[in-house]
Amino acid sequence: MRNTKTMLLSTCVYIITVLLFNTIVWYLEDTWTFKECFAHGATIGFSLIFGWVPATIVGRDYYTRI
């Protein structure tokens, strides 16, 4: 159960991070819609490269404190 909770928390943090990245891109770009921000290759790549960092940190902290 401990591993499952850690996995779910890390997944939720990753999704929140991706949403935050895409919201920032959508806010800064004038011509794209919110849906186009999710489909753009640069945004997907940025989310894949840097999105796992906060999820890993939060997951490790959660796992050690439970």
CA 9 to chain centre: 12
pLDDT confidence bin for 57, thresholds 50/70/90? very high
Q: pLDDT digit string (tens) for 3-56?
A: 899 999 999 999 999 999 999 989 988 888 888 888 888 888 888 888 889 999
Q: What is the pLDDT of residue 41?
A: 87
- Helical (H) or strand (E) element with 30: none
Domain ranges of the chain: 2-65
Global pTM reads 0.84
Token representation of residue 21: 């990245």
Residue 51 confidence (pLDDT): 86
